[in-house]
Each structure stands twice: as C-alpha cells, then as structure tokens.
Structure 1
Amino acid sequence: MASPKDRFVTVYGRKPVLEALGDAALQVDKVVLADTARGPAAREILDAASARGVDVQRATAQRVKVLAGNGKQDQGVLADVVAPRMKLLADALSGPRPPRGVLLLDGITTPANVGMILRTATAAGMGGIVVPRRGVASIDPLVVKASAGVAFHAPVLRCATAAEAAELLRSSGYPLFALAADAPASLFAAELPAKAAFVLGSETAGVSPDVREHVTSWLSIPMRGGVESLNVASAAAVLCFEHLRRDPSTY
C-alpha cells in the first residue's frame, strides 16, 4: 500500500523548513504548523510559504510530532517536499523502463550513511536505491544534510521491508549480489550483468537473514594494509562506481 512517504521527503524543524521554502528548485507540497506556534518564528514560516504559494495547514503539536516521526526536533513545523524520482519499487519494476542497477539498503540505521549512499549512488547513475520504510533510517533532515540535498532528487524506490524488496527483485529477474569481507569472489573480477541488484547490509549485523536467503552471489572488495572492512557508505561508493565503469549506458 502506498504511503505519503512514497511521494515526499518530509523535513521538520524551523531551519530545514525555511531552507526548503527558500529553494526555488524544490516543490513544496504543504507545510504543517502546530496550532500553538506563534511569534516571529511562526510568522517567518508563514511569510515564506505565502511567498511560494504553499498551503499551510494547522495541526496539534502532537499531530506534528507524529507526522514528523521525531518528537524532539520537529519544533512544531514540517514540510512535505515533492521527490520527483521517488516511486514504489513494484511500480518501477513493472514499468516500461525498469531500472538496470538497483541498490538495496538492508538495516542501515545511521542517517549519515544513508545520506552519503544516496548521494554516491545518484552520482554513479544507479537506476534505483531501495530505501524500505522499516529497518532503515528515514529520509529526514539528517539524511538530507548528509546527502548535501541530493536526497530530494535521488531515484529512491520504496517498499515495506528489505526482505520484500529482495523477493520482488528476484521475481523480476534481478540477480542479487551482496558484499561480505570473506566472500571468495572479488567485486572487480566478477561478472556483473547490467540488470542487477546489490544489497548493502547493516553497519553491525550485515545482511539480514530474511534477505540473505535471496542472495545469488557474494562479493568482496579486496583489502590491503591489514584493513578488514570499509564503512558501509565507503563500500557503497566502490560498488556503485564499479557498476558505472562496467555499464557505459549510465554515463
């Protein structure tokens, strides 16, 4: 079932909302302001929204907290920013031009890592980045900041869980590759079809058991200097640009 989070990137807090309203390149669907918000800060947001022709809805402070998903930092205001390349994974896979390279995030909960992966994968031309609604850091102001704003325009694909995504990808004909430090096959030597999906496991537990059962091949990034592994965002960068090097159609 589709969710508003499958169409918008929701930012919360006075400064992120004002930044979104002040960026002419972004389409802001609406602003939700707590009915208790008054004074100069609220007036600044109302004026900025009015200048952009953006609808402002009033809601209880508790409702704003629920919609923002962050009860400590929303400051009584949020904005839904249209994400033009965001869509449901199922729709992307069944559409006329399904993505070639797909990145699947599985249990990555650190916002900085999710943001950096969104930026890197978009720069490398990945056709889609699956960010499940559950089990992965939400695309919020922390993720947006880490992505340097790229999160608004990244080709994000949405689904409920990473396991659901893995099953959908496999049933749609995508081999599913996963990274592991002890995998015998090197990323740089393996045969990587243009139409493929790559799963990145969590920072601590790696690929989850429910996703692991769908993995068709395990790959490693060769390491030197006694280093055992890379941060997941760094590993994503190596993987995405290796895929770009192999697939000139994404240049």
Structure 2
Amino acid sequence: MYGRKPVLEALADDGLRVDKVILADTARGPGAAEITRAAKAAGVPVQRASAHRVKVLAGNGKQDQGVLADVVAPRMRALSAALADRRPPSRVLLLDGITTPANVGMILRTATAAGLDGVIVPRRGVAALDPLVVKASAGVAFRAPVLRCGSAGEAAEMLAEAGYGLYALGASARTTVFDVDLPQRAAFVLGGETAGVGPEVGELVTEWLSIPMPGDVESLNVSAAAAVLSFELVRRAR
C-alpha cells in the first residue's frame, strides 16, 4: 500500500503484519519522521529507495507521497494447496482477463464480505495485486481469500480435474444465477472487461449463466455482476 495515512494505519493495525516500509530518499520532515517512529514501535524495518523506485512500485506517482508498505496477506495461498486440503473450498470465483485494478479490488472486497471460500487471481492476464488493487478494495485485499496460479486456463483445468462445476457469466445464457442447480463444489468465471471469458477457459465451462435484467441495459460492470452472484450464494446458504 502507499500514502502516509494508509501506511500509518497499517502500522497501527494489530490485525495486519507489515513486512517492511519503503521511504523515498526525498521524503523528509514531520511526516517521514512520524512513519519512521511508528515503524520502529511496530518492529518493522524501514528501507530507503529513490523517489523514482517508489513511484514505480506504487504504480501511482501522484498519490504515493513517497512511502510504501509491504503487508502480509495471511489468507493468500496457492490454488493447488487449497484444492489438496481435506476440506477444499466449495464456492470460488475465477478471474479471467480482468485487467482493471479497480474491478479486481472491488471483487475481492465483495467476495470477502460475502464469505466466499476463495477468489482465484492468476498471475498472468489479470491485474497485479498492487497498491491500486489494495486501494480499490479499501484494504480488504490483505484479508481476502486469494488463491494464486499461473493462468485462468491452468486454474480451470485444475478445478475440472478436482470435480468442480465451472460456471461462466454470459449475458445471452438462458439459465440464470438465480435458478441454476449447483453441485457441492462450484467455481464461477468472471470474464474480462472487453473480451469476456477467454476460449481456453470457455471450453471447460459446465454451464453459462446470466443475470436477468428487465431494464434496457445490455450488461453490468464485472464487479457489479460479481456482487450479484456473490450475494445470491449468500442467500442460498441462508
């Protein structure tokens, strides 16, 4: 995460473990001194780097304020490890080609709020889990049940082999998210903002699902669609 106030809040949060703080070598004055004191009190090392390096790491040079913090995400693990558990996740989201950090961040926040077992965020083809995603999630990304793998296609193959039903959202599907019969283990694919679900994943889809929209709107933003789906799963569980 970046910015003086967010970093100070992270250092003061007993529920988070901060690995290190990085200060730009141009960051001086009371603000930098306050962060240094807070890091020392929390037992967190502070490193200095060039202002350019901090901007590159933050991905947002206008708002980093010369400070970054690396925060440990305790619920993040490999998808392979999750599937090998004695009690593997029963309901997961799979992100396929979602490249806008704001969408990834909001999906992580929504899925965590809905109590889903996992959000699969591939390392390729999806926005990186960087400070922009963290900001969009309002910090929830650190506590989200993130599952990692190489690509969405790799994840789809692993899920299919593990016996999961694979359901993809598509506007033209006849079956809706409200009336589909789901197996004990199900993964829901959310496609990219422009291209939707890719062909590699599409070949493995068990069934396509739609969100009924009586109004004159063609589709929803992917993060809004994720919210509808996530809380339909909450409704079913209740």
How far residue 71 of structure 1 moved from its aligned partner, in angstroms, is 5.9
Encode CA deviations 1:47-98: one digit per residue, 9 max, x unaligned.
1101211122334445545554556654443211111111111111112221
Q: Are the equivalent residues in 2 in contact too, given 1:176–1:198 (CA < 8 A)? A: yes
Counterpart for residue 233 of structure 1: 223
Q: 1:146 aligned to 2:103?
A: no
8 Å contact kept, 1:16–1:141: no
Matches within 5 A, 1:32-181: 32-61=22-51, 63-65=53-55, 67-68=57-58, 73-181=63-171
- Tell me the TM-score normalized by structure 2: 0.89
CA distance in 1 between counterparts of 2:203 and 2:103 reads: 24
DSSP 3-state at the match of 1:186: coil
Which of 195, 204, 212 is equivalent to 1:205? 195
How far apart in 2 are the matches of 1:69 and 1:143? 10
Which of 165, 172, 184 is residue 174 of structure 2 equivalent to? Answer: 184
1:24 and 1:193 mapped to 2: Cα distance?
39
Q: Is the 8 A contact 2:59 2:131 kept in 1?
A: no
Greater displacement, 158-167 / 199-208: 158-167
Q: Secondary structure at the match of 1:139?
A: coil
CA apart distance, 1:46: 0.8
- AA aligned opposite 2:189: V
- Offset at 1:144? 2.6
In the alignment, residue 193 of structure 2 is paired with which amino acid?
A: E
Aligned-pair identity (%): 72
Instruction: Output the CA distance in 2 between the equivalents of 1:22 and 1:142.
Output: 21
TM-score after normalising by structure 1 = 0.85
SS for the counterpart of 2:41 is: helix
What amino acid does structure 2 have at the position aligned with 1:152? Answer: F
Q: What is the Cα deviation at residue 195 of structure 1? A: 0.7
Q: Is the 8 A contact 2:93 2:190 kept in 1?
A: yes
Cα drift, residue 192 of structure 1: 1.1
Cα–Cα, structure 1 residues 160 and 36, in superposed 2: closer, same or farther, change >3 Å? farther
Instruction: Give the one of 11, 21, 37 matched to 1:21.
Output: 11
**Number of aligned positions between the proteins:** 238
Amino acid in the other structure paired with 2:94: L
- Matched residue SS, 1:177: strand
CA distance in 2: counterparts of 1:142 and 1:202, whole angstroms: 18
